[in-house]
Structure 1
Amino acid sequence: MSTWRKAQQLAAEQGIDALLITPGADLRYLTGYVALPLERLTCLVLPAHGEPTLVVPALERHAAEASGVEMDIATWGETDDPFALVASLVGDATVVGLDDHMWASRVFALGEAIPTADQVLAGSLVQQLRIRKDAVEVEALRQAGLAIDRVHLRVHEWLRPGRTEREVGADIARAIIDEGHETVDFVIVGSGPNGASPHHELSDRVIEAGDPVVVDIGGTMPSGYCSDSTRNYLAGGTPDPLYLEAYAVLEEAQRVQLEHARPGVTAESIDAVGRRIIADAGFGDLFMHRTGHGIGQETHEEPYIVEGNDLVLEEGMAFSIEPGIYHDGRFGARIEDIVVCTADGLEVLNNTPRGLVSL
């Protein structure tokens, strides 16, 4: 069964008369069309009963057809009202579900065009489908993991004292493409004290001998599925003894989390088992973020591996396990792997060395 038919069934079950999905990961998931989020409206109209229609600007019809969309395509011209076109396709719907990332201007325009319909968020509905990857999706994530692993295995070519984070990052970005990704989504090269900022990207700081360096990288493959992996490097010299102590704790925490994660356990329990190890070693206040996030056609999606999320994991759920320790002004470290729940266990999709790599 196609993904859009599954979404259609869920909409009917939840009392939603039609789903309205604009460009983004949900649209790509449901149609296969990678539409650019431009000023001209593109919108999937998916009724709970009946056939879907993809509304696109006339000048983008060929792009939509070339993507292999298997549904009716309705076009609108430069002087047409695309929201009126959507309203005509929705008909007498009284509840319409909007994708979570729809632009506010379009939410208001659709509200004016379909004044008799209540608007509800449909993101959680689509996530019910996206959160469980099928065999084809798992293979796509597996290939993404292999591709980003190949980049990490080449970091020694570029990371050395005397170069800036930005210079190293530019080389890594080129390699992400060379190793099979379609786009570069992010490159973090956090050297020395910059590693203590989990979302540090690149700066003009010159890497020094003895610096620990956090390298967190990811991209999107031609399949539409994402990679994300973090490894830690030592740029020569002698590291801070406290860093080595913290890193050993971090390795143990992630090892235990990988052993614990499997179908039948809760998302929050994975966070808890690793956080307890880090806290018992005296670094609890330095682990400032959740343990992980789901991954698929977006780098961050459900399920989130965090305290308070009592979701029971199931086969096909894919997510990161990435505990970290961050000593402000001194150093940071994070070890990240993408994993997927199998029928009775866990497959780890990143398999480069997790220990500190001395260059």
Structure 2
Amino acid sequence: MFIDRIKDVRHVMEDNEVEALLLSVGADLPYFTGYEAMPLERLTMLVLPREGQAKLIVPALEAPRVQEQPEIFSLRPWKESEDPIAILVEELGASRSVAVGDTTWTRFTIELLNQLPNLRLSRANSITSIIRSKKSPDEIKRLKKAASAVDRIAARLQSGEIQLIGKSESQVSNELGAQILEEGHHRVNFAIVAAGENAASPHHEAGHRIIQEDEIVLCDFGGTWIGEDGVGYCS
């Protein structure tokens, strides 16, 4: 699966005259490698050239979390005594047209430009979204599995099986989060519960307000279901 995705994205890179992709924290990295990086102050970066071996640069302390897949990428752990940007520059080689992941920390991009001021940067999303927007039958199956899980929770809300009246917003939010995990999700992304006047705020943070009879209660919740390959799908 990952091999096919990398092959496909390289075709798009060629069409757009992009010589290398730089993918750090965010959804693109696990989509192409199965590895989800922690949002640390230390650099994690997949260097995916249009031709040749991809290299995953990771802090040495994070390397044990990476499942090595030599057919997809080689691993380059860096120590605290090393400069990860210098390693990144070395891995880029002669590449000058580079697409950077949207959620890459700005400090790393600035430090990279300080060392390679002639880089031509673009958004990696303009490349990766072309691949990610086309869902395979297996991906559709996974998305349906994630969605069906929260649909069952929504049905329990509508039937009254999950009690609202007399409970605080935060109590209901915690219950929704617990049920998301019980339904097989690996993490809760959000569980918004907003009662009465709070329902006017779609991103309200659940608090101590007690839910009363005959009032509007806004509930919006979802999580991430992660497959054995490390790729997550949101409900």
For normalisation by structure 2, the TM-score amounts to: 0.90
Matched residue SS, 1:170? helix
> What is the CA–CA distance in structure 2 between the aligned matches of 1:67 and 1:10, rounded to whole Å?
23
Q: How does 1:35-184 map to 2 (within 5 A)?
A: 35-65=37-67, 70-155=72-157, 156-184=160-188
Matched residue SS, 1:93? coil
Q: Which one has more relative contact order, counting CA pairs under 8 Å at least 6 apart?
A: 2
Is this contact kept in 1: 2:68–2:74, CA < 8 A?
no
Q: How many angstroms does 1:127 deviate by?
A: 0.7
In structure 1, what residue type is equivalent to 2:33? T
Is this contact kept in 1: 2:169–2:208, CA < 8 A?
yes
Partner of 2:8: 6
Is this contact kept in 2: 1:33–1:67, CA < 8 A?
no
Q: How many angstroms does 1:69 deviate by?
A: 7.9
Matched residue SS, 1:112? helix
> What is the CA–CA distance in structure 1 between the aligned matches of 2:65 and 2:71, rounded to whole Å?
10
Q: How many angstroms does 1:163 deviate by?
A: 1.1
For normalisation by structure 1, the TM-score amounts to: 0.60
Matched residue SS, 1:162? coil
Q: How many angstroms does 1:68 deviate by?
A: 8.8
Is this contact kept in 2: 1:100–1:123, CA < 8 A?
yes
Q: How many angstroms does 1:75 deviate by?
A: 1.5
Is this contact kept in 2: 1:19–1:122, CA < 8 A?
yes
Aligned residues: 227
Q: How does 1:244-323 map to 2 (within 5 A)?
A: none
> What is the CA–CA distance in structure 1 between the aligned matches of 2:91 and 2:78, rounded to whole Å?
13
Matched, 1:216 2:220: yes
CA deviations 1:25-61 (Å, max 9, x no partner) are 0111111101111111110001112121111112222
Matched residue SS, 1:154? helix
In structure 1, what residue type is equivalent to 2:5? T
Matched, 1:29 2:31: yes
Give unmatched runs, 5+ long, in structure 1.
228-359
In structure 2, what residue type is equivalent to 1:110? L
> What is the CA–CA distance in structure 2 between the aligned matches of 1:66 and 1:189, rounded to whole Å?
41
Larger Rg: 1
Is this contact kept in 2: 1:12–1:49, CA < 8 A?
no
Is this contact kept in 2: 1:184–1:218, CA < 8 A?
yes
Q: How many angstroms does 1:203 deviate by?
A: 2.1
Matched residue SS, 2:167? coil
Matched, 1:198 2:202: yes
Question: Would the alpha carbon gap of residues 35 and 45 (structure 1) be closer, same or farther in structure 2, given more than 3 Å must change?
Answer: same
Give unmatched runs, 5+ long, in structure 2.
none
> What is the CA–CA distance in structure 2 between the aligned matches of 1:166 and 1:184, rounded to whole Å?
14
